[in-house]
């Protein structure tokens, strides 16, 4: 669905036209609810809207500033401390309480795979590792970026197509749901609110169905051990 088709669908659902529901009034609502749905998609952690940010490591510098938008939506951080090495994932330590004195950090962390970590503070990444050298492209931050805002409702390109290599489109399966959500908001904002129809009242259910169609891998970092078989614990009724 193009942005022009989206606007037509919204006006069909609201029984309006370009005079009674102008593009200027509709566009902010489209972007607001596009972001609302995209946030729910991101919560599924299925890889939608992931984008990398490559940065250089600077000798003896542990803190690297990033926009809050990126730090609030990190998927993972990868590091390498030698230009010829591969990057490996850094461990995120949420409640780090250790020393930040350089000598203590290099004593407790290393530049080897599995030996380094990071924390987030003051809108920046703080790397816990061995001594940091200059490494071009030494860091790779993978984070979630919401689909680009629409700038007009006259487009002829499908909304699901990525506008560029660094921005995302909006998944096709959610186009009608976006139109429905805008329709619901418009109806509720009228001086005399208009009653929602059965399809609109079923919005949350249909949205959940579409979200459930997206795979949801375990991204919790929780490790769960399996119990020993009963035959090894003597708890099978035969050994006592």
Tens digit of each residue's pLDDT (9 = 90 or more) over 133-192 = 999 999 999 999 999 999 999 999 999 999 998 999 999 999 999 999 999 999 999 999
Helices and strands, number each (H, E), in the chain: 8, 8
CA distance 69 to 204: 27
pLDDT of residue 98: 92
Q: Within 13 Å of residue 127, how many CA atoms lie on the same side as its CB?
A: 30
pLDDT of residue 231: 54
Question: Helices 175-188 and 23-43: crossing angle, nearest 10°?
Answer: 120
Strand 74-79 and strand 135-144: pairing? Answer: antiparallel
CA distance 174 to 72: 24
pLDDT of residue 53: 94
Low pLDDT (below 50) residues in the chain = 219, 221, 223-225, 240
CA distance 29 to 178: 10
Q: Show me where the domains of the chain are located.
A: 3-47+147-212, 50-144
What is the enclosing helix (H) or strand (E) of 30? helix 23-43
pLDDT of residue 215: 62
pLDDT of residue 95: 86
Q: Can you give the pTM of this predicted structure?
A: 0.79
From residue 56, give the alpha-carbon distance in Å to each of 41, 59, 137: 31, 10, 5
């Amino acid at each position: 669905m193009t942005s022009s088709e989206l606007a037509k669908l919204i006006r069909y659902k609201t029984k309006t036209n370009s005079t009674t529901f102008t593009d200027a009034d509709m566009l902010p609502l489209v972007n607001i609810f596009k972001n609302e749905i995209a946030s729910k998609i991101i919560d599924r952690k299925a890889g939608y809207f992931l984008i990398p940010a490559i940065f250089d490591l600077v000798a003896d510098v542990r803190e690297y500033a990033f926009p809050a938008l990126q730090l609030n939506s990190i998927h993972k951080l990868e590091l390498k401390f030698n230009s010829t090495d591969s990057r490996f994932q850094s461990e995120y330590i949420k409640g780090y309480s250790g020393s930040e004195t350089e000598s203590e950090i290099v004593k407790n962390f290393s530049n080897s795979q599995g030996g380094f970590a990071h924390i987030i503070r003051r809108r920046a990444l703080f790397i816990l590792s061995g001594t940091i050298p200059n490494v071009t492209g030494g860091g790779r931050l993978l984070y979630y970026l919401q689909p680009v805002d629409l700038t007009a409702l006259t487009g002829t390109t499908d909304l699901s197509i990525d506008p560029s290599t660094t921005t995302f489109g909006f998944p096709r399966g959610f186009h009608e749901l976006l139109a429905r959500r805008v329709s619901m908001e418009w109806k509720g904002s009228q001086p005399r609110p208009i009653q929602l129809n059965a399809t609109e009242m079923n919005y949350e259910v249909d949205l959940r169905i579409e979200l459930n169609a997206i795979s949801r891998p375990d991204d919790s970092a929780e490790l769960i051990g399996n119990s020993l078989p009963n035959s090894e614990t003597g708890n099978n009724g035969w050994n006592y």
